[in-house]
Chains A and B, each alone.
Chain A
């Protein structure tokens, strides 16, 4: 039992490198998918933002045109 669990006073034990059983590794394919996916996501979001801004601006133009035409019609 004393071979499996170090005495409490010893605390953490340093080793050179990392033990093979705890080595962390993210697959390269996941990182590539994340990199390419991010570009797609950002571009699509930006296009959506521009499109929504465009819709709002066009509504504003139509409203202003309508008001101006109504005012000009009223003057006559």
Chain B
């Protein structure tokens, strides 16, 4: 796991060095101009956010069914990263909105459903931290609500009248814009994997601590 962490972190660092250069070289968009370049990191952070939310959902179901500690570790690591990448998506979106729409925030359906999802995962972490006994199961159920929100976020721009760009933007990118975009997606994916592995390594150590406490209690050292 440590080797994978070093590999993914190195690839992410390389991507973070190369992708800004590619993004700067990409052509400017006709109506938005320079500010459109926020899109190259805004959309990949959202994509990775959806990925980690679903991973959290799958791990939460596994935990609810099997009560597996490994599934629980994966769920909490994914939930933390959902908050991290969700915050990045909201922030970058807000910077874009300020220039494109003239406001930092508006109660547009895409933005509102995304903010709701972010709050669900903040709630997940709060429940786990302060919920007391049984909070893991409660948080796992909460994660499923977060997962249910993701398809709603995705289709919101097609169903309701919204100011947010449509989902057809990415498939219709011209090649000089598509290359930096997919490099940025790869970079975010590597960054996500590196952070997930780092978090899972920490969770493995926490499990070791729990085992040692049990051993210490059996030896009459700890209550």
Interface residues of A (CB under 8 A from B): 26, 28-29, 31-32, 34-36, 38-40, 42-43, 46-47, 50, 53-54, 57-58, 60-61, 64-65, 67-68, 71-72
14 more A-B residue pairs beyond the given contacts A35-B41, A64-B213, A71-B219, with a C-beta to C-beta distance below 8 A: A28-B33, A32-B34, A32-B35, A35-B38, A35-B92, A35-B95, A42-B88, A46-B84, A47-B198, A58-B205, A61-B209, A67-B221, A68-B219, A71-B221
Are B92 and A50 closer than 8 Å at their CB atoms?
A: no
B179 touches A (CB below 8 Å): no
> Hey, what's the 0/1 contact readout for B197-223 against A, CB within 8 Å counting as 1?
011011001101100110110011100
With an 8 Å Cβ cutoff, the count of chain B residues facing the other chain is: 37
B136 touches A (CB below 8 Å): no
Complex CA gap A47/B42 in Å reads 20
A4 CB to nearest chain B CB (Å)? 31
Residues of A within 8 A of B95 (CB): 31-32, 34-35
Interface residues of B (CB under 8 A from A): 16, 20, 33-35, 37-38, 41-42, 45, 80, 84, 87-88, 91-92, 95-96, 98-99, 191, 195, 198-199, 201-202, 205-206, 208-209, 212-213, 215-216, 219-221
Specify the chain A residue showing the minimal Cβ separation from B198. A50
Specify the chain A residue showing the minimal Cβ separation from B93. A35
Residues of A within 8 A of B213 (CB): 64
Q: 27 interchain pairs (CB within 8 A)?
A: A28-B34, A29-B34, A31-B38, A31-B99, A32-B35, A32-B95, A35-B96, A36-B20, A38-B91, A38-B92, A43-B84, A46-B195, A47-B198, A50-B195, A50-B202, A54-B201, A54-B202, A54-B205, A60-B209, A61-B205, A61-B208, A61-B212, A64-B209, A64-B212, A64-B216, A71-B216, A71-B220
Q: A68-B212, A68-B219 are in contact. Are A28 and B99 (CB under 8 A)?
A: yes
Are B219 and A72 closer than 8 Å at their CB atoms?
A: yes
Are A42 and B84 closer than 8 Å at their CB atoms?
A: yes
Specify the chain A residue showing the minimal Cβ separation from B38. A35
Residues of A within 8 A of B80 (CB): 46
A72 CB to nearest chain B CB (Å)? 7
B35 CB to nearest chain A CB (Å)? 4
Are B201 and A28 closer than 8 Å at their CB atoms?
A: no
Residues of A within 8 A of B35 (CB): 28, 31-32
Residues of A within 8 A of B221 (CB): 67-68, 71
Are B88 and A39 closer than 8 Å at their CB atoms?
A: yes
Residues of B within 8 A of A64 (CB): 209, 212-213, 215-216
Are B195 and A43 closer than 8 Å at their CB atoms?
A: yes
Are A50 and B199 closer than 8 Å at their CB atoms?
A: yes
